[in-house]
Structure formats: structure tokens, C-alpha cells
Amino acid sequence: MQATVITTLPFGSGLDRLLSSTPKRVFWRSSKTGRISSSSRFLSRRRPLAQSAFGDSMGRMRKSLGRRVDDLAKWFLRFKLVSVPARLIANSSYAWSFISRTDRIRTNRLRDRLKQGELPEHISIIMDGNRRFAWNSNIGRDLGHHHGKEKLKDVMNWILDLEIPYFTVYALSTENMRERPEDELESLYDLYISGLDEIAADPRIHSRGVKVQAVGRLESLPSKVRDAIDRAESQTAGHSNFLFTVCLAYGGREEIVDAVREVATDHAKGELALESIDSAQISARMYTANLPDPDLVIRTSGEERISNFLLWQIAYSELHFTDVHWPSFSKNDLYEALESYQSRRRRYGE
């Protein structure tokens, strides 16, 4: 069945998404039936508020309102008199300037509120959704990964502005290395090399005292990637204001296995008594021994699992899941995750 694209509108998942960096929604008309359709359902975003009964009610209201707006938009777009100006408005720099200005006001207010509360010391992010972003945007897979790399620079700057001292990202898992096609891995390796070199050469990285390190089973990476890691680490080794950690060829189970092997080796050498082996001894042998445990773990793209990331370290971490694909992750999305974090009471077994 052939279809003709009518227009794109900046619909997202509720008014709050309209006022942030949401992808545009595509509407089309079937050449066979003449029916108006859109690319996906108009759903509200998940928010921490939805964890309460009141939040559930608000969530249902947002979904219902979203579906009605979606249906109304499809009805209006049956008429060229409406679809033509709709296309002009959607592509108008003035319209997006207004939305952007409104978004900045909202973001600045949220940032000010966050700074009045307790911010996490260590944020970790599972950067997920590059390929789905590429598919939804009708662009190549490699370009989706490129957008993800550029987004990482933005997010690091936002976290630096909040003066949060530790930031860790999950870039490449051991499972990725086993399952992804070779051509995709080669493309990813090239991205890691260029990204690490760009970070090491960025004057802002040095002026703000950012130290870079990579952790994982790095020996399994190609030598060209290891060389880029060495360059980034050596050129930022003298900095101490902010520690940026990239997990490459990383798996949480593998990290625990490697730490236990070191404990067993030290015991066999007579350097570690059996009765001295405890969680502190294992923690001291983890890849991330120089980091505090993450306070907040964020995962993008709607998946609600940890995927073998920092299994030992996140025993008491707060988890935040967002439906947004990583390349579309906005400053508002980060701030909403932090707002959710501040609304929780961390009990540590109490």
C-alpha cells in the first residue's frame, strides 16, 4: 500500500514534550483508502508522579487527552485548508523559536529548584536507543550512533554545570561485542576513537578539570581503540574536578568475576587471609574502585532493566527509566530524572 506524507507536526507525548526537544510526528494519507494515519500513538510520558494513585489518575488523563488531540489532528488534516498552514507552522522558525524560548524558561526554573535540593554525587547513564532513533528518523544506523555521540557531549556539559563530580556511561557491553555485526562494531570503534580524541583536545575539558578514564575488559578492544583511550587518559590525568568514566567492553558479571579472581590469586600468594575477605576487599578490586557507587542510574529508550551494568555498585542506587531515545535526551529529561531522585527517600536498608 502506498501512502503520501501530508505534513509533520511537533506532537510528542503531552504539552510538556511539545515544549522540549521531541521528534516531529508524521501524518500520511493512504492512496488506496484515503485514510489519515500517524506514525505512532500519542502517549504520555512516564513520570515519577505516576507511582502514586493520584499519579495514575493523572497518567490516564494525559493519555486520554493525548489520544483526543491526535484524533483531532488527523480529522483536521483531511482538509488541505488546514494541512497547508499546519505544515507552514510546523516548519516555521518563529513557531519553534517561541517553543524554544518557553522551554528555556521552564528549564531554568527547574534547574534553580534542583540546586536548592540535594544533588547526586555520581550519575550513571545507560545510553540506549541510538538504532531505534535512527529507524524512527529514517536515517542510517551509523548516523544514529553519531547523534548519540554528540548527545553525550551535551549531557556532560549539563552535568558539569550542576557541579556533579562523577559521571559514568555504558558505551559498549561484552554482549554487544558478541552479538553486533562486525561492520557496526567497526563503525562504533571509529566513533569511540574520534570521541575520545575530541574530548582530549577540547579546551573546555581542560579548563574545567575533567579527567577521563575507560573501564572494562579493555584488552579485548582493537589496538586503535586502546591507543585512543591511552591518549585521552594521559592528556587528562592531571585533572581532578570531574571524573568521566566510559565503560567499554564492559559487563557487570565479568567485572565481579575478575575481582574475585584477584582475591583468589592474592589469597593463594599468602597476601590475603581467608578471614579478611569481605565486600570491601572485592570492591577494592573492581574496575571502578576509585569511584563512589552511583547515586542515580538513568536508562533511556523505555527499556526497564539494568543489562549487566555496574551490578555490584548499584545495590542502593536510585533507578530512573525514560522512554526517550538517547539522541533525543534533553536537558529537561535530565532535570526530571534529578527531580525524581530528589523526591525519593534513600533508606539504605532502614
Please report the pLDDT score of residue 1 as a whole number: 47
Determine, yes or no, domain membership for 282.
Answer: no
CATH of the domain at 170: 3.40.1180.10
- My answer on whether 20 and 152 are in the same domain is no
Cβ–Cβ < 8 Å for 38, 22: no
The residues pairing with 215 across neighbouring beta strands, listed in sequence order, are 247
Q: Which residues of the chain have pLDDT under 70?
A: 1-103, 348-350
Together in a domain, 34 and 152 = no
**Selection from 132, 158, 156 nearest residue 144 by Cα:** 132
- The per-residue pLDDT for 95 is 55
| Residues 233 and 132 reside in one and the same domain | yes
The verdict on whether 136 is a catalytic residue reads no
What pLDDT sits at residue 345? 81
Could you tell me if 248 and 218 are in contact, meaning their C-beta atoms sit under 8 angstroms apart?
yes
Phi, psi of 74 (to 5 degrees): -60, -40
Q: Give the helix/strand (H/E) hosting 202.
A: none
Q: Does the residue 142 lie in any domain?
A: yes
Encode 218-235: b = buried (16+ Cβ within 10 Å), e = exposed.
eeebeeebbebbebbeeb
Residues 15 and 58 in one domain: yes
| Residue 305 located in a structural domain | yes
Among the listed residues 103, 128, 142, 295, the single catalytic one is: 128
- On whether the CB atoms of residues 245 and 288 are closer than 8 A, the answer is yes
Query: Do 124 and 196 fall into the same domain?
Result: yes
Query: From CA 154, how far away is CA 150, in angstroms rounded?
Result: 7
CA atoms of 250 and 310, how far apart (whole Å) = 9
Structural domain count, the chain: 2
Domain termination site, one of 91, 109, 138: 91
For residue 133, is it within any domain?
yes
Q: Establish if 108 belongs to a structural domain.
A: no
State yes or no: is 128 an active-site residue.
yes
Does residue 97 lie in a domain region?
no
Q: What are phi and psi of 90, to 5 degrees?
A: -60, -35
Say whether both 206 and 307 belong to one domain: yes
Catalytic residue among 130, 176, 295, 332: 176
Q: What pLDDT shows up at residue 13? A: 39
Are 238 and 301 found together in one domain? yes
> What pLDDT, on the 0 to 100 scale, is given for residue 61?
67
Question: Does 123 lie in the same domain as 45?
Answer: no
Q: Is 273 among the domain residues? A: no
Can you give the pLDDT at residue 106?
77
* Cell representation of residue 61: 488523563
- Position 105 scores a pLDDT of 79
Q: In DSSP terms, which residues pair with 36 in a beta bridge?
A: 29
Residues 238 and 302 in one domain: yes
pTM value is: 0.73
68 and 171, same domain (yes or no):
no
C-alpha cell read off for 309: 551494568
Range of the structural domain that residue 82 is part of: 1-91
pLDDT of residue 347: 74
Q: Which three cell numbers stand for residue 59?
A: 497518567
Is residue 113 in a domain? no
Q: Which residue has the cell 567497526?
A: 186
